Amino acid sequence: MTLPATPVASSSSALDVDVFGLDRERKRAWLLEGLNRLTAHHQSHCAPYARILDGLWPASPAQTLETVPWLPVRMFKLLDLKSIDDTQVSRTLVSSGTTGAAVSRIFLDAETARAQARALTRIFSHFAGAKRMRMLVVDDDSFLRDRTRFNARAAGILGFSNFGRDHLYLLNESLQPDWAALEAWLQAHPDEPVLLFGFTFIVWQSFVQAAQRDGKQIRFPAGSMLVHGGGWKKMDEQKVDNAAYKAALSSTFAIERVHNYYGMVEQVGSIFFECEHGHLHAPAYADVIVRDLQDLAPVPHGTVGAIQVLSLLPESYPGHSLLTEDLGVIHGEDDCACGRPGKYFGVLGRIKNVEIRGCSDTRTVPGA
- Mutual orientation of helices 110-128 and 152-161 as an angle, nearest 10°? 60
Cβ atoms of 329 and 309 within 8 Å: the answer is no
What is the spatial distance between Cα 36 and Cα 262, in angstroms, rounded to a whole number? 24
pLDDT value of position 149: 54
Please indicate, yes or no, if residue 2 is contained in any of the structural domains. Answer: no
Say how far apart CA 33 and CA 13 lie, in whole Å: 13
Q: Does residue 206 register a pLDDT over 90?
A: yes
Res 361 pLDDT > 60 = no
In a domain, 282, yes or no: yes
What CA–CA distance (Å, rounded) separates 354 from 347? 15
Percent of the chain beyond pLDDT 70? 90
Q: What is the model's pLDDT at position 291?
A: 98
Closest CA to 159 of 210, 214, 108: 108
pLDDT for 359 beyond 70: no
- For 73-103, what is each residue's pLDDT tens digit? 999 999 999 999 999 999 888 886 655 678 8
156 — pLDDT class (breaks 50, 70, 90) = confident
pLDDT band at 5 (very low <50, low <70, confident <90, very high): very low
What's the pLDDT at 100? 60
Q: Provide the residue range defining the domain that includes 100.
A: 13-350
Segment among 101-110, 228-237, 325-334, 345-354 with least mean pLDDT: 228-237
In a domain, 356, yes or no: no
pLDDT band for position 357 (50/70/90)?
Answer: very low
User: Domain for residue 358, yes or no?
Assistant: no
**Model confidence pLDDT, tens digit, residues 231-281:** 777 787 888 889 999 999 999 999 999 999 999 989 888 899 999 999 999
Is the four-CA dihedral 190, 195, 198, 202 of positive or negative sign? Answer: positive
Q: What is the mean predicted confidence (pLDDT) over 329-356?
A: 89
Cα(252)–Cα(216) distance, rounded to whole angstroms? 8
pLDDT one-digit tens code per residue, 46-71: 999 999 999 999 889 999 999 999 99
Q: Can you give the pLDDT at residue 232? A: 73
200 assigned to some structural domain: yes
Q: How confident is the model at residue 147 (pLDDT cuts 50, 70, 90)?
A: low
User: What's the pLDDT score for residue 194?
Assistant: 97
End-to-end CA distance of the chain: 50
Please tell me the predicted confidence (pLDDT) of residue 153: 76
303-326 pLDDT tens trace: 999 999 999 999 999 999 999 999
Task: Look at residue 279 and tell me if it is in a domain.
Answer: yes
pLDDT reported for residue 352: 83
Total domains present in the chain: 1
CATH number of the domain within which 284 lies? 3.40.50.12780
Whole-angstrom Cα distance, residue 262 to residue 357?
Answer: 13
Tens digit of each residue's pLDDT (9 = 90 or more) over 160-201: 998 999 999 999 999 999 999 999 999 999 999 999 999 999
Q: Give per-residue pLDDT as tens, 273-293.
A: 999 999 999 999 999 999 999
Q: What is the pLDDT of residue 26?
A: 92
Within a domain: residue 5? no
pLDDT(368) > 60? no
pLDDT of residue 105: 92
Rounded Cα gap, residues 52 and 76, in angstroms: 13
Mean pLDDT confidence for 17-25? 91
Chain mean position to CA 51: 29
Q: Is residue 98 part of a domain?
A: yes
